[in-house]
Amino acid sequence: MSSFKKRVPASQPKPPPATRINPHSAQLLVSTGVPALDDVLGGGLPVGGVLLIEQDRQTGYSNTLLSYFASQAIAAGHKLCIVNADRDVNLASQLPGWAGVSRSAPESGTSTGAETEQGGAGDKMQIAWRYQNLPRVDGREADTQSHSEPSAGPPSTAATDTPYCENFDLSMRIPQKVIDRASVDIVDGDAIARGMSGTENKSGDMYRHVLEKISALIDDGFSSLKPLPPNAERNILRIELRSLGSGFWRSSDPNAILAFLHGLRGLLRYSYAACVISFPAYLYEEAGVRLPIVRRIEHLCDAVIELESFEGSNATPSSIVARQIKGEAASNSQEYHGFLHIHKLPRLNSLTASMGRLSILHTGGGSANNLAFRLRRKKFSIETYHLPIEGGVTERRVPAKEESNTPRLPSGAGCGSTPGRKDPLEF
């Protein structure tokens, strides 16, 4: 009898649904719901990371990105926690739907002035066979176009059966019955006030109460430090904090938001959770200059992006070139709605960001990039910004009838001569 024994690899646990591995850093990624934003971040939002979205003063485009993030959680069967101290959350009227489970959105829910997009979601464009295997910004392959209705609770399908990013449509809404079956935990201002009244938090610090709420959710099956029960599958916890740091977040300590972000990042590092935060940075300005606390808040997050719309005047001082580009874009080009500035990219498990190697829209990174966004009737897209063609259709054309009003030179006047005299240069 042989003493050698065949080595059998240990059974690896299945990855959570709707996730993928970053080939650059071996980090587990989840989709933000916007394929172009996933591409900018290097494939998606890392599990255990924090994405900070700096809001625009004039518009609410950041709320559109948050609605995509929440809809992707429901489509993938992930646990969703929404914290909003400003107002009540109505998911049935805010979240975009996808083909198969969606209903038409009311006319009041569509944005005014948005462009209409031709073609349906299921229309396919026939291209040459040599271009079919090239990478795409949306990240979907040809065989992953089917969309199914999500099930309640933790999904029982494998990660490969669930699409990494659904094809959402802003003109549709998720039915209420699908939202009721999903695992969603909403914490609004009233819920925070009721929770603080029954705890030992007598100082009225909302940051502390929300951090304790998130810690309890992570301990309930999303911590990487606790083993799972037998035959249990991992799932993802998606945390969405809306308008963090606004006037509705009450605290006696002016630096409570820094302690909150430090504790939040420590909790997420050892968990299967990802967080997206919208931050009104314009509230932390004096005479158009941001306070130093904004830079410290950005340092405590893993990725930071800023949405700057073309609507309104130049509220913040910028360079002359940036103002000229913004003025030309607002007056001449109506295709884009604003700039997307990248202040920080995720670098979990790596010293360098993955955007330079994995992103299709990579333009060098930093805040001086040339990425722009536009909100159409059916989708939110991020593209490379292009200036209008010089001398194109945007240039004013003089009608033919106005040519007769232009003054003419008298007869006999040539180059360098006076009227009535013969030009000595003429032969």
Whole-number Å distance between alpha carbons of 391 and 328 = 13
Whole-number Å distance between alpha carbons of 281 and 250 = 17
Quote the strand ranges of 16-154, DSSP E: 19-21, 28-30, 45-46, 50-54, 79-84, 96-98, 103-104
Query: 124 versus 68: which is more confidently predicted?
Result: 68
Does residue 252 fall inside a structural domain? yes
Domain span at residue 333? Answer: 19-405
Q: How many CB atoms lie within 10 A of CB 149?
A: 12
Are 307 and 54 contacting, i.e. CB atoms less than 8 angstroms apart?
Answer: yes
Query: How confident is the model at residue 37, as a pLDDT?
Result: 93
Query: How confident is the model at residue 108, as a pLDDT?
Result: 42
Q: Which of 115, 51, 54, 47 is nearest to 303 (CA)?
A: 51
Highest mean pLDDT among 227-231, 319-323, 329-333: 227-231
Does residue 334 fall inside a structural domain? yes
- What domain count does the chain have? 1
Query: How confident is the model at residue 105, as a pLDDT?
Result: 63
Does residue 14 fall inside a structural domain? no
Does residue 62 fall inside a structural domain? yes
- pLDDT digit string, tens, across residues 251-286: 888 889 999 999 999 999 999 999 999 999 988 988
Does residue 414 fall inside a structural domain? no
pTM for the model stands at: 0.75
The string of DSSP codes covering 294-336 is HHHHHHTSSEEEEEEESSSS--S---HHHHHHHHHHHHT--S-
pLDDT above 70: percentage of residues in the chain: 63
Does residue 224 fall inside a structural domain? yes
**347 pLDDT exceeds 60?**
yes
Query: How confident is the model at residue 242, as a pLDDT?
Result: 93
**190 pLDDT exceeds 90?**
no
Does residue 153 fall inside a structural domain? yes
Q: How far is CA 30 from the centre of its chain?
A: 13
**Using CA atoms in the order 161, 52, 280, 182, what is the torsion angle rounded to 10 degrees?**
20
Kindly state the average pLDDT of the residues 89-113. Answer: 67
Q: What is the CATH number of the domain that holds 348?
A: 3.40.50.300
Q: What is the DSSP letter of 38?
A: H
